[in-house]
């Protein structure tokens, strides 16, 4: 089984709808991240969390919210989806230590019509 899983893998929705993307991990890591990937823009950080009680905004948090339900679960919500939120979304995890190596899930392709 994969260490980092994301659901759903694909989602098509309409403008104004609320969407939740879920991430689960079995790596036992404390740190979890949500990224957005757009062509030519690399990976941009939306939100990150270092433990259940810690939530931090990344560089592009407007229009998104998150919930860290447990050490292993980190959800990303779009309260009212808009077309320019159409993108690939990745969850990642990292342990604490001497490096910041992150381990990525398979991604969710979200299309907002």
Rounded Cα distance, 83 and 102, in Å: 29
Which one of residues 7, 50, 61, 71 is an interface residue with other proteins (CB under 8 A)? 50
**Residues in 17-46 that interact with other proteins by CB under 8 A:** 31, 40-43, 45
- With respect to other proteins, which residue has the nearer C-beta, 14 or 57? 57
Rounded Cα distance, 85 and 63, in Å: 9
**84-to-97, 110, 111 alpha-carbon distances in Å:** 36, 10, 9
Which one of residues 4, 18, 22, 46 is an interface residue with other proteins (CB under 8 A)? 4
Decide if residue 98 touches other proteins (CB under 8 A).
yes
Decide if residue 55 touches other proteins (CB under 8 A).
no
- With respect to other proteins, which residue has the nearer C-beta, 4 or 81? 4
Rounded Cα distance, 69 and 109, in Å: 23
Rounded Cα distance, 59 and 96, in Å: 22
**Residues in 74-93 that interact with other proteins by CB under 8 A:** 90, 92
């Amino acid at each position: 089984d994969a260490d980092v899983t994301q659901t759903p893998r694909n989602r098509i929705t309409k403008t104004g709808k609320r969407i939740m993307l879920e991430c689960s991990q079995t790596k036992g890591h404390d740190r979890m991240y949500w990224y957005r990937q757009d062509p030519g823009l690399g990976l941009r950080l939306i939100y990150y969390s270092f433990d259940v009680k810690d939530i931090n905004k990344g560089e592009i948090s407007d229009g998104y919210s998150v919930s860290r339900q447990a050490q292993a679960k980190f959800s990303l919500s779009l309260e009212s989806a808009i077309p320019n939120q159409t993108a690939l979304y990745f969850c990642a995890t990292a342990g604490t230590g001497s490096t910041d190596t992150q381990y990525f899930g398979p991604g969710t392709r979200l299309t907002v019509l």
